[in-house]
Amino acid sequence: MSEPIQINLTSIFDGTTEFTLTREDLSVSERRVYTGASAAPAGVIGANFFGLFASSGPKLVGVSFGSDNPLNVMQVRTASGGVREQYTLRQQVQYVLMNAGDKLAILAPHERGPLSLVINELGEADQLRWAVANPPVQEHVRLRIVRNGNFVGDPLAAHWIPAFTWDGSRAILSVNDDTNNGPIPIANILYPRHYGALITVRYANSSNNGELKIIENTTRKSWVAQTAIPDVRWSWVQYVAHDDMITLHATNLAGGQLVADIEVVRVEPGDRLRDRFSAPQTNTGGDNL
């Protein structure tokens, strides 16, 4: 890793406008500390960091701001504009990895900073160390089913595999379906499909009578995990095996759309059994592991 470069900026950080400053617009001290200001609102810093670096090189960037206002955020954006990471700006230095072509977006429209960046170009060994120290994180999956009518799940009906599509504005998988009521296979809403999962369900615009049933795939025998789920309240968390299914039950309150939200996160096999071994569960309204 080469010696880092520090850049100190002041601006109205709007999170959308790319800085037009160049290397010549920045003052420099001790050959590695650059300072600049933008009179016009700006908030996106290009991959070459004002011409001080090559756009194609991966970088480790430390970011700190002049306040801990939780409304101030930074984003690592891809060259095509997608958001790779988002964090709240803090006075404490936070490090982010930027791949070739990535840009850094800063949104802090009510404060001029200062914004401080400490930038390191990464070699192969540096990237490997970062990868080992920052393994992939398992994210939850959020699903939404919207219908005009009631959910009347039937454990004996044909499998229902909702045709979810990605709703980027809400960051959920969503589908409108007024007719299907069969059991939903967990394997079709969780990847990879050989993992078990923790799930929770919420109904909106229901008559406070939501239910969640877990279905065993071979016999189609069912267990009512929870009844009378209050409207807009998440159900207790339940464990379901990778070949289990669930059914949804709720009555539309009084016209309008009835919504069922499902949150799913996979469970590593060892984690589930370890939890059972260390603290056997009873069905008292909490996690059913």
Q: What is the pLDDT of residues 18-59, one digit of tens each?
A: 999 999 999 999 889 999 999 999 999 999 999 999 999 899
pLDDT at 286: 47
Among residues 133, 150, 180, which one ends one of the domains? Answer: 133
> Which tens digits make up the pLDDT trace of 79-113?
988 898 999 999 999 999 999 999 999 999 888 98
Are 128 and 15 within one domain? yes
At 114, the pLDDT band (50, 70, 90 cuts) reads very high
At 2, the pLDDT band (50, 70, 90 cuts) reads low
Are 175 and 249 within one domain? yes
pLDDT at 3: 82
Are 186 and 119 within one domain? no
In a domain, 122, yes or no: yes
pLDDT at 188: 85
Question: Residue 163's domain is classified under what CATH number?
Answer: 2.60.120
In a domain, 288, yes or no: no
The whole domain housing 196 covers 141-278
Are 19 and 105 within one domain? yes
Please count the structural domains in the chain: 2
Are 105 and 122 within one domain? yes
Q: Is the pTM of this model over 0.75?
A: no
Partner residues linked to 282 by β-bridges: none
Are 112 and 168 within one domain? no
> Which tens digits make up the pLDDT trace of 248-289?
999 999 888 999 999 998 887 777 777 777 765 555 444 555
In a domain, 287, yes or no: no
Mean of all residue pLDDT scores within the chain: 90
Are 195 and 270 within one domain? yes
Among residues 133, 166, 192, which one ends one of the domains? Answer: 133
